[in-house]
Chain A
Amino acid sequence: MSSTAREKSAAKRNGEHVDENGHAHGKAGEEASSENGELGAIPSFDVVMRIRRYNAEDAEDGTPVEARWEDFTVTLHGTDRVLDALHKIKWEQDGSLSFRRSCAHGVCGSDAMRINGVNRLACKVLVKDINPDKPITVEPIKGLPVEKDLVVDMEPFFQSYREVMPFLITSGHQPTRERKQSQEERERFDDTTKCILCAACTSSCPVFWTDGQYFGPAAIVNAHRFIFDSRDEGADVRLEVLNDREGVWRCRTTFNCSEACPRGIQVTKAIHEVKRALLTRTV
């Protein structure tokens, strides 16, 4: 592919006009070109980020203050994700903005937040995909105590996770060879191995918002991962944990969790399978 053809196709993707010489003349492109005075500059656009701010130290008399909205205008490119916008704000405008992130590539599960009302990973959502013409709201995930701005206390979430014993439980001597498993046996829990513990599912669950004691989808997903593992022998113990007053029977099948999961795990289906295992007492 020649450089002109490549430029043409790139401009086409951005919805710009291309003249016979192959130069882009989009609206955003023109703005960028006139600013920088060079052709072929990467188009950029301005977007308002409406961020939910909270800081316990704001209060003068020590009582917690109400969280508030704060607007920031940032200039972004089509390739920028919500996390990039937050970085720009933190690095260039307001260094006090707090949020968690680590890998920034959708694997570590640190930056789950509520973007335009739904739980998403900030590092996976392209700003251009969520209508940048309107202010983009960014809030902390629901149902967990907020510590500062977008940072929540994850401890209730991880406590539920620990309680389902997310580790291999076996009996007898340690084998001298690997524990074998057929492809079909592995297939049963393949979906739930993808969990990155970002809490997007648990904090999207209406039952979890009002009843923080509920184990939540993520803990059930991680229990599912071991309950249906043919090498594991702790299924009964885990099922008993989830048979609790705050266990799987709390699930109201609202499907918020399945829609929120950045890894595309069929969370409600996994919970359904755990319920069925409890009803029939067979794994």
Chain B
Amino acid sequence: MATETRTRSVVPKGTLYRGREGMWSWVAHRITGLLIFVFLLVHVLDTSLVRVAPEAYNVVIETYKNPVVGLGEAGLVGAVLFHAFNGIRVMLVDFWSGGPKYHRQMLWAVGALWVLLMVPFLVRHLSHVFGG
């Protein structure tokens, strides 16, 4: 064990690896996934207040109805949509024989689809959040 710590410490930090689309999509996939997981834990907890009392649930939900949480929700939806579409891209890479060849084009498709869905969602959601 001692030798292992020694060898590990010798690896110099150096610069960031300049990976391309594949690497950055993986980084984003990992970050969004972690974000969604943390939200999910909180979301199950607050939803389980419906079992305590209707008032308790309504009070907590009411505190969520402000612009800060509203923007957070928009970010969450963005993360979920990216994670979902990129996940489908990963599945195509894994299961479709043409996947490894077209992985980059598929990432652009993921981006296009994401924008296509986020625009109408943001219009509607932000008008709810800021329009009262």
Indicate whether A and B interact: yes
CA gap between A253 and B107 in the complex, in Å: 13
The answer to whether the Cβ of A268 comes within 8 Å of any Cβ in the partner chain is: yes
How many of chain B's residues touch chain A, expressed as a range?
20 to 34
CA gap between A269 and B93 in the complex, in Å: 9
Interface 1/0 per residue, A110-143 and B, CB below 8 Å: 0000101110000000000000000001011011
Interface 1/0 per residue, B21-50 and A, CB below 8 Å: 111011100000000000000000000000
Residues of chain A within 8 A (CB-CB) of B19 are: 118, 204, 206, 254, 256, 259
Residues of chain A within 8 A (CB-CB) of B51 are: none
Q: In the complex, how many residues of chain A place their beta carbon closer than 8 angstroms to a beta carbon of chain B? A: 34
Interface 1/0 per residue, A136-163 and B, CB below 8 Å: 0101101111100000010000000000
CA gap between A275 and B96 in the complex, in Å: 12
Contact of A258 among B15, B18, B99, B100 (CB under 8 A): B100
The answer to whether the Cβ of A64 comes within 8 Å of any Cβ in the partner chain is: yes
CA gap between A254 and B22 in the complex, in Å: 4
Residues of chain A within 8 A (CB-CB) of B11 are: 142-146
Given A146-B12, A256-B23, A272-B94, check contact A204 B100 (CB 8 Å): no
Interface 1/0 per residue, B1-24 and A, CB below 8 Å: 000001111111111111111110
Most buried by B among A64, A137, A153, A253: A253
Residues of chain B within 8 A (CB-CB) of A117 are: 15-18
Residues of chain A within 8 A (CB-CB) of B6 are: 64
The answer to whether the Cβ of A252 comes within 8 Å of any Cβ in the partner chain is: yes
CB of B87, distance to nearest CB on chain A (Å):
12
Q: Which residues between 52 and 68 of chain A lie within 8 Å of chain B, taking CB atoms?
A: 52, 54, 56, 64, 66-67
23 A–B contacts from the bound complex (CB under 8 Å): A52-B12, A64-B6, A64-B10, A117-B18, A139-B12, A139-B14, A140-B12, A140-B14, A142-B14, A146-B10, A206-B26, A209-B17, A253-B90, A253-B93, A254-B25, A255-B21, A255-B22, A255-B100, A255-B103, A256-B19, A256-B20, A259-B22, A272-B100
